Each structure stands twice: as C-alpha cells, then as structure tokens.
Chain A
Amino acid sequence: MTTVSNYINAKKGILSWIFTIDHKRIGIMYLGFVLLAFFLGGMFALLLRLELITPNELILTARQYNQVFTLHGAIMVFLFIIPSIPATFGNFFLPIQLGTIDVAFPKLNLASLWIYVLGAIFCFYSILSGSVDTGWTFYTPYSSTAGGSIIPMVTGVFILGFSSILTGINFIVTVHKMRAPGLTWFKLPLFVWTLYATAIIQVLATPVLAITLLLLVLEKTMGLGIFDSALGGDPVLFQHFFWFYSHPAVYIMILPAMGVISEVVATFCKKELFGYRIMAYSSLAIAIIAFLVWGHHLFVSGQSPFITMLFSLLTFLVGIPSGIKVFNWIATMYAGTINMKTPFLYFLSFIFLFTVGGFTGVVLGTLSLDIHLHDTYFVVAHFHYVMMGGTVMAFLAGLHYWWPKMFGKMYNEVAAIVAFVFIFIGFNVTFFSQFILGANGMPRRYYNYIDEFQLLHFTSTVGSWLLAVGFFISLAYFISSLRSGKKASENPWESSALEWKTASPPVTQNFSTIPKRIDSGPYDYDKA
C-alpha cells in the first residue's frame, strides 16, 4: 500500500519545515511554539498559586514572586493568547476555508513565524539576565526606574508586535483577494469574519504599543522625560497609550475564539448559524468600539469624570454585541441534532464561562462599583473567565475539532472527556474563589495577604492543581493520538464546511483539485 501524499510527508527533513512557505506547516509550527509558551506560563501560574497557599513566605521571596507573576502575564498574553488562535488555526484553515492554495504572501507568513521566535528569544534572554518585576503592563514610573532586565523584555514584545502586524496584513489581503470564485462575503465562514476583524485591530492597534514601548526604552536609556514625572513626564500618559493597544488586544484574543465557537456549534448541531449576518456585522462592530473603551482601565487613575463617564457608557455598549452572539449560538442549537463530542463540551463550557465573564464585566464597567473592585482579585477572576474561560476553552474546542483534519488521526474520546471534566471543574474552583476574594477587598499582585483570606486562596490553589491534571491528561492523549491514533476520515464530524471536503491531513495544495467555483455556504445543512 502506498501512503497518500499530504502536507506532512510531502517533504522530509528539518529544513523543509524551517523554510516552508506552506501555511499549514507554518500553522503547525506556531501551534508547537504557542503550546510551549502555554506550558511555561502555566508552570509559572502553578508556582504563584503554590506560594499563595499560605499568607506568608513559602517557596519564593517577594521579588521572585513579583518576577513570576510578571512572566506569567507577559508570556500568556504576548506569546500564547494573542497568537493562539489566529496564528495556528487561522494560518492552517483560512486559505482552505477560502478554497485557495495559500495566504496572499506566503514568504511574509514565514517571516511572521520567525519574527515571533526572535521576539520570544529576547523575552527568554530577559528572564535569564535578571528578569522583570514590573507586571506585564510595564506601568511607569516603576518600569522607568526599576532594575532588572526590562529593556530586553520590552524589545521582545516590540518584535512580537511586528509578527502580529504582518500576520494581520496577510490575512486582510488574503480575505480580500484570494477567495474562490463564487465565494462571496456572506458565504464566508464566521471564523473567517472574526479573523478579518481581528486582523484589522492587529494592524491598527499594535503600532501604538510598539511606539509606547520604544518611548519607554528611550526614557530608560537616554533620560527622555515622557512618562517619568521626575523627568517632567506624565506616568498616566503611559497608561493611556498602553491600554489604547491593550484593550483592543483583548478583542484580538476573544474575536477569533468567537469564530471557533461559531464553527463548532454549527457542525455539532448540523445547523445553519442563527443570525449569520448579525454575527458577521457584530464582529466588525466589536472591532471598532474596541478602540474607544481603553479608558475603563483608568477609572481610579485621576482622568476627568466626564471622560470617565463616556468610557463607562461605551463599555456597556460593547457588551451588547457580545451578548447577542451568545444568544445566537444558543438559538443555533434549537431543533438541531446535537453530537455531544469533546469540542461541543468545550462549546458548552465556553457559553457558561463567557457569560460569567461578561456579567462580571458589567459589574466592573459600572463606575461606582469599579472604584471598589479595581485592582482586586475580582478583576483577576473576571479576565481569567473571559480570557481562559473564553479564549482558552475555544482554543481547546478548536484543537479537538480540527485535530483530525490537521494530523489525520483521532484522539481518545473517553480520555478527552475526563480531561474536560478536570479542566472545567478546576477552572471554576481556581477562579470563582477569586471573585469572592476580590469582592471582599483582596488586592491583586500581593505576595502576602491578611490571614482571613487563606481558605479562599487555598481553594484557588487546589483548583490550579485540578487544572494541571486536566491539561496533562490532554497532553498524554494528543501525543498518543499522534503515535498510534485511529486514522481520521475526511469528515469525521459530518460538517458541511469547506475544510472538511479535502483529505485528512490535506495535501500540500489543500485540495486535490482547487475548487473552480464555490456556490454553497459553509453551513448548508439543509442541502445535505
């Protein structure tokens, strides 16, 4: 029997990967790096939770603790969650979902990957050469006066930004120019719509972060007084600049996750997405309003009450399209035929966790409440519900959903459900206790805390162990799937989306014959 050629075995040798311009191979390499970053960031998280099991010193000194929470945040945000879905699943599936061979600029795509690696090398150099204890937000004037290895870290993040911008440009042009004939805008899968909206934010917002970090480096090296008040600068200006990027960046993290969730719910219910057009438009609406809400990170910073009022109002408005999306996903389930497989379990957990994240976001957007809750564990729990409960759950949904297509192998469904149970329970134990802590006044970034908070901190730490068990089980069955998994058919989930109409794994050209014309939509389950 001859093995069928596919993108994995088409060429041999490490160089055929390093210099590949195949979007699928680039996606797979991104997946490797991104998972490595998630592992490292996760180890740091376990270390933090272990230290916090007692109110006083246990295994880390105060400075080490501050470095570890900074690294946890920086690695999770810049190396894991921002590239997580767009750079992996986006790279792999965007061209296939458009019925084309590759992205518009394949070499630029390869450049994005290695620029990402270069940025990561700078970050690791920073860890080895003195580390950083500023928090991932690098707030001035602490960051402009503190010691440690801040400049390499900031340079690393600066470089990572270019990777993000180049991927964004590539995706925008690809969606505009590379669609198969007949594949009009409203026949695109929602995953494509969300990648498109994300790419717009990446291209427009990331340069602001790059400039801000550059100014910080200039201040540190040449004493330019921009943020440090001792030099005549304004420290709050840094916060405005920083969040002008970093709040839209929150939507860089969540929009692609919403895309994955849309694909999963349609496939596993065999239903056309409810409110498809509204879903597409609301992705763009979110991308635009995302630029106008950064000031809700500064409610207690001393910005003017009038501006504060406007930011609160806009924050409530951006919540509405997200709410509508949740209603649409649930409505999609109506009268469907629901296949209760692992990706769908992650879809269900996404709905619940994202809803909790959303409602606590309403609490934080409310001016008088944010004053009390700002910079407490309530905020920490809120963004973990949105980022981990939202994006990571969607990432896991996507990983299980597309795994058979990417690697041509099935994973063990029973093991996957066991891992899901650990991850779902572990997540809620870890972070729900933090809502109660924060609401009662426990400040974030605290190495020590008052004794009466210990029980809740202890609970949260136990939750982190459950989470770790869940992730290690996942790692085990994915490795076992690669070694000896059952061969996956072309379309194991009976999806009507385009990426399931080619071999698993796909050939290098994506389709044995490139589609001449595509007239069907991605969710045409009534025509099946």
Chain B
Amino acid sequence: MEKVKPLLSDGTLWIPGSYSSFSSNYDSLFYFIFWLSVIFTIAIVGVTLYFSFKYKRSESNLVAKKQIVHNNKLEIIWTAIPFVIVMFIFYWGFKDYLYMTVSPENAYEVRVTGKKWFWTYEYPETGVKTVGELVVPVGRPIKLVMSSTDVLHSFYIPNLRVKRDVVPNKYSNLWFDVTQEGIYQIFCTEYCGDQHSNMDSKLIVKSYEDFLDWMEEQKRGASKDVPLDLLGKKLYKEQGCNSCHSLDGSVVVGPSWKGIYGAQRLLADGSEVKVDDNYLRESIVYPAKKIVKGYPNIMASYAGLLSDREINGIIEYIKTLK
C-alpha cells in the first residue's frame, strides 16, 4: 500500500512538501520573510558584536567618547524602512489569504465532522460516509463544510498549508485544490483532551477516474461481502475505537476489549453486568447508560454513525479477542 507523505524529509528544511494550488504562494512569502530576517538579524548581531569589541572598556577607554542622544536622520530611516517593509508583507499576506478564504463556485463539497477523537466525512451528493479517511479527486477545488459535535477541534493538512477551527453548533469552511495524487497527513490542532494527539486522519487523493470508481464501490457497500468479524476489525481502526480501547489488556481511556466478552463487569453504580451481545450493542449506541467502574463517562454515541451490520461486526470482532 502507498505510504503517507513524510513532512520533514519532503520539501525543504523550513517547509514540508508543497501540494496545493496555493502552497507555493505560502512558500515564496515564507522564504521572502525568512531571508529578510536572516539578513537583518546578521546585521543587528554583527553591529552589536562589533560595538562590543570596539568600545570595550579598557585603560584607554574609561570614559565614553561622545554622548549622543538622537540623530533625526538615522531615526527616520530606521522607522521608515521597517514600516515600508512590513506594510508590503502585510499586503502580500492579505492577498494570499483572500485567495485561500474565498472558495471557487464550482468546488466539490464534503461535510466534515470532528468528534473526540476522530474525523468523519460525508459526501452530500452520494450520501457516502467515511471515517478517518478523506478521499478526494486530484486537481479539483474541494470545499469542506465542517462542524464539531463536542469541543473545539482544528482541521490541518500541513502539505496543503490549510487549517481551520471546527466549532460546535457552527459551520466553518475550508477549501483546497491538491496538485498531486497521494496520501497526506491530517492533524487536529486545537487541543481537545486526552487523545488530541491521536486525532489524526488521512487525505487520500486519487485521479478523477479512480475517485469515481471508489465512490461507486462505496455506494455498492463493498462491506457486504466481508465476514462480520473482519468488518469489525476494519471498523476498530476506521471509527477511532483504537484511540480509547486497546486489544492487549492495557488501559488507554476506556476498558480494553481483550477477553471482555462473557466477563462480569462491575459498574460505577455498584451493580454487575455480564458482557453479552446486548450489553455491547447498548454500549455502542448509548455509551452513558452503563459505565464500568473506574472509567470516565466520555464516550460519544455512535447511534446513526454505524449501520446494524457494522455494529454486529464490532460485536463479532470483540468475541474473537480472547
């Protein structure tokens, strides 16, 4: 399988690989300010060090030679030049920002939902839903309409130089046009709790034909042919179950799935429950109803996010984890 594009080893030292229609704008402006800063810093440090040595206190230099308190020409120069430079930078940054902010009319729309701690994507034209993987065609403007179901998140694709906060009860937009096929890293950059750093996702960019094929496959429901426990195994990662539930008995956020089926669990209210199919289904759809003692009540409901067959798949998968 194709690998995710690396960030550090791709591109240059100061920028990750550049793969959107405006990432080259970013790169030019970044390096413009970068080299300007390097030149000015060298000048400032150079003059400072030069003065430090030249005017070092010594037997022959015990009293300051001159007391100068101002020099109008010099002061006007070092106020005016920085002013002109920063106004130029401001304008350049604003111009590029406008391009990034206003999405083209013909952009292909995808709805994005941020939820502790995974991203889901829905294609309004076809009703297809995915979790953890955003698939889009190359070379076409894509517009994301984003919202959160709980706290603030922020949707960030370093290779495309785009980022936007995702806010509950509000829609925020972001658009991009990817220039090359491949798999790109998506991060959450607004702190959202325990698994914030694991709330990553992948942007998969395909050729337009492959994208259409992929969409057809999704519409047919390719998952129908997969055995239930394998479907569960796939969903375990795709739905972000893995960010809270381990498979090896270790505690991440919620209880581990290892050996859980058939076991007796002590609940927070003191009662006991046997883990069977009904209990598991209830815990997926109404997670707050029965809380296992010692764990926080933080899981969000998957009602409406998973089909019946998918819920069955997860239950069958848990049964295999002895």
The interface of chain A, by Cβ under 8 A from chain B, is 62-63, 66, 133-135, 139, 141-142, 145-147, 229-230, 235-236, 269-278, 300-302, 305, 308-309, 312-313, 316-317, 319-320, 323-324, 326-327, 330-331, 333-340, 348, 351-352, 355-356, 359-360, 362-363, 365-369, 371-372, 374-376, 436, 439-450, 452-453, 456, 525-526, 528
Contact = CB atoms under 8 A, between A and B. Distances in A.
27 contacts: A134-B191, A139-B152, A230-B168, A271-B64, A271-B67, A274-B68, A275-B69, A313-B90, A334-B66, A335-B64, A338-B56, A340-B56, A340-B57, A359-B41, A362-B37, A366-B90, A366-B93, A368-B25, A372-B26, A372-B162, A372-B163, A375-B190, A439-B15, A440-B11, A447-B196, A452-B7, A452-B8
Contacts of B64: 269-271, 335-337, 525-526
Interface stretch (B97-105, B130-138, B231-239): B97-105
Interface in B1-50: 6-9, 11, 13-16, 22, 25-26, 29-30, 33-34, 37, 40-41, 44-45, 47-48
Given A229-B167, A278-B70, A335-B64, A444 B189 contact: yes
Q: Determine the main DSSP class of B at the interface with A.
A: mixed
A339 B92 contact: no
A362 B85 CA distance: 11
A448 B100 contact: no
A147 B253 CA distance: 14
A338 B70 CA distance: 19
A472 to B, nearest CB: 28
Interface residues of B, number: 91
Interface of B: 6-9, 11, 13-16, 22, 25-26, 29-30, 33-34, 37, 40-41, 44-45, 47-48, 51-52, 55-57, 61-71, 74-75, 78-79, 82-83, 86-87, 89-90, 92-98, 100-101, 150-152, 154, 156, 158-159, 161-165, 167-170, 172, 185, 187-198, 252-253, 296
Contacts of B70: 274-275, 277-278
Contacts of B185: 441, 450
A346 to B, nearest CB: 13
B94 A312 contact: yes
A63 B159 CA distance: 29
Contact of B296 (A147, A274, A363, A449): A147
A143 to B, nearest CB: 9
Q: Most chain-B CB neighbours within 10 Å: which of A277, A302, A326, A443?
A: A443
Contact of A300 (B9, B55, B165): B165
B167 A333 contact: no
Contact of A525 (B6, B67, B161, B168): B67
Contacts, number: 266
Contact of B93 (A142, A230, A274, A368): A368
B69 to A, nearest CB: 5
Contacts of B192: 142
A193 B285 CA distance: 63
Nearest to A352: B45
Given A320-B79, A334-B68, A305 B196 contact: no
